Amino acid sequence: MTQSTLAIYGGAKAIPAGTYKKWPPIDDTDRQMVMASLESANHAHGFNCQAFEKEFAAWNGNQFAITTNSGTAALHMGIAACGCGAGDQVLVTAYSWSSSATAIIHHNAVPVFVDIDFDTINMDVDKIEAAITPRTKAIIVVHLHGLAVNMEKVMAIAKKHNLKVIEDACQAHGAMYKGRKVGTWGDCAAFSFNQNKCLCSGEGGMFVANDEATYLAARQLWSFGETRSPAESRDYHAYALGWMYRNNDLTAAFGRSQLAKLNGFLATQRENGALLNKELKGTKGLILPVEPKDHFHNWYNYTSRIDFKAIGYTGDKSLFRDAVVAAIQAEGAPVGVWQKFILPAMTVFRAKNAYGKGCPWHCQGNDDVNYDPAHFPVAQFHTDTHFGMTTPLRAPQGADAVKHTAAAFRKVFERIGEIDPAKILKK
């Protein structure tokens, strides 16, 4: 086999072993803060949790923050804090992580999906008003893969129809629209700090808001329905239905240490994202991610699509895409398919029976909400043609790792005619 032969067919890999370093980078600051927490007297909701809340609120530009055990928990808190409940409808993008929509069901409300804009992969803001009904209570905007939604349009629609806006910023730490950070536009927002996120504390999340009433309503759901936080003198009385969504001190200590380095991490991602776009510009058959005017991308995920018209392929798109992904992986690049299903196609929504006996759909008069995947053609087309990656753009990767990654992409797409799904994906 020659050097030019695809690795999937036995050729040499384009990317040398050891090119990528693990995420997140760990240093002595992380070790010292986590060990100090371990040696402290409170491993539950301790000092680091309270400090993390204040520091993250200051970093993002919010008045209030609540550290949680996940981004999903923070989303559910947002649904509750915005007064969404039984029988209400909440608009959400047709393409995201499942939590963006299941959080709505958690509070007995019903998700109504809106198709995406192909270029940004975010909710198509021009399709929002057509989805609004008399039952609509709120809009969840997902700043997917680190690119902000056009929040001026969203907020104008929300004001016109008297709707609440919840920002799912779980992937969008530091992303901005018109110079303003995500998480500061809507009524509240949710961030995630799990292993894959731009700010990693292992697991965990943060709820943020600028309105005290919204903050207090979210905090009540966060801690057993109580009205006082663990940092206060609690009476242990459940005043409303509540969950246990609190974070712990060890995780918060790790989060605080990583937060102090977050601006540097984000700068690295932006540099690497720009370099990768430059290296791959003009690659036939490859649709690159975009950063539209007025947007500040954090490059959480570098998501590409295959241009099937350009390569003249008319067969099964998702099958061919899977073969291309396998070929790039064989070259040594850590690419993958993030979601193979649009949300309306997932069983939890199609069955309309989350709590049994048809609830929250049939028991609340929302039988007419339609989840036919055919109604979301752009989301489906994206799902069938995309692939993405996070590691090559993340610290401590530098220009060399990015250029090796680009070489792997180019090698496969220059030989795209050799991709045979039947041969590559044989079981």
Q: Which amino acid would we find at residue 153?
A: K
Tokens of 74: 């923070």
Helices (H), 204-337: 212-222, 249-259, 262-280, 308-311, 317-330
For residues 259 and 265, give the distance between their C-alpha atoms in angstroms, rounded to a whole number.
10
- Which residues are CB-contacts of 197 (< 8 A; sequence separation ≥ 6)? 71, 170, 171, 173, 191, 300
411 close to 14: Cβ distance less than 8 angstroms? yes
138 close to 90: Cβ distance less than 8 angstroms? yes
Q: For the chain, which domains are there? A: 28-261 (3.40.640.10)
Beta strands 205-209; 64-68: pairing state: antiparallel
Rounded mean pLDDT for each run of 10 residues along the chain, 427 residues in total: 81 97 97 97 94 98 98 98 96 98 97 98 98 98 98 98 98 98 98 97 97 96 86 84 94 98 98 98 98 98 98 96 98 96 97 92 90 97 98 97 98 97 88
Residue of 172, 202, 178, 173 whose CA lies nearest to 70:
202
The whole-number pLDDT of residue 1 equals: 42
State the DSSP string of 147-169.
Answer: ----HHHHHHHHHHHT-EEEEE-
For residues 17 and 7, give the distance between their C-alpha atoms in angstroms, rounded to a whole number.
13
H or E stretch at 112: strand 110-114
For residues 400 and 389, give the distance between their C-alpha atoms in angstroms, rounded to a whole number.
16
Beta strands 176-177; 180-181: pairing state: antiparallel
- Measured from the Cβ of residue 11, the count of other Cβ atoms closer than 10 Å reads 17
For residues 40 and 248, give the distance between their C-alpha atoms in angstroms, rounded to a whole number.
12
For residues 326 and 75, give the distance between their C-alpha atoms in angstroms, rounded to a whole number.
34
For residues 187 and 195, give the distance between their C-alpha atoms in angstroms, rounded to a whole number.
27
Give Dmax (Cα) for the chain: 73
For residues 43 and 29, give the distance between their C-alpha atoms in angstroms, rounded to a whole number.
19
For residues 83 and 194, give the distance between their C-alpha atoms in angstroms, rounded to a whole number.
27
- Per-residue three-class SS string for 169-197: CCCCCCCEECCEECCCCCCEEEEECCCCC
Rounded to 5 degrees, φ, ψ at 291 are -130, 95
317 close to 146: Cβ distance less than 8 angstroms? no
Burial 375-396 (b: 16+ CB within 10 A, else e): ebebbbbbbbbbbbbbbbbbbe
Rounded to 5 degrees, φ, ψ at 316 are -65, 115
137 close to 82: Cβ distance less than 8 angstroms? yes
- Which residues are CB-contacts of 242 (< 8 A; sequence separation ≥ 6)? 220, 221, 222, 223, 224, 225, 226
Torsional sign, CA 108, 109, 110, 111: negative
- Output the CA–CA distances (angstroms, integers) from residue 260 to 132, 204, 257, 339, 391, in the order listed: 41, 17, 5, 31, 20
Torsional sign, CA 298, 300, 306, 309: negative
Cis before 334 (ω within 30): no
